[in-house]
Structure 1
Amino acid sequence: MVERDDYAAIRDRIIGLSHLHGLRCDWAETTRRQRFLLLWDAEGRVAARAIVPLYPGETPHLVDSLERGLAHVFGEGWLKD
């Protein structure tokens, strides 16, 4: 189970699942407190986009939004597995 308040654990989970699904991650710092994530498929299309909080313990609502936002790519409960 991924610690929901640990940015590195969430990031590593996203990267691992992306590789399993044949997706490439692009990260951009949007603010000092969050990163913008694009997931690209093998044909160069954006498969998903999301905001990933750098301090997820302070913003659990953003973690919930992230989990829902990537469920169509990684499956329901991807952050809990």
Structure 2
Amino acid sequence: MITIAITVAVAITVTCVWHWRGTYTTAAGEWRVVSLHDGSVIRLGPRTEIKVRYDREQRLIEQFSGEATYEVAKV
């Protein structure tokens, strides 16, 4: 019972702390530039998929496929 309560509390905390910004994808032959709220810039090559989430202290970018270059802004 205590384990379930802790798991639920952690899940709620993670949901509240992280702010999902979105998932970005490109098709074959498509190039895309994504500007993040913090000033960082991501350039996506063809057939690329990334997921971005961040909060005031850190950002997490998961790249699932394709290629991308990153210009990371100082926080």
TM-score normalised by structure 1 residue count: 0.30
More strand by percentage: 2
Largest Rg, 1 or 2: 2
Greater percentage in helix: 1
**Which TM-score applies when normalising by structure 2?**
0.32
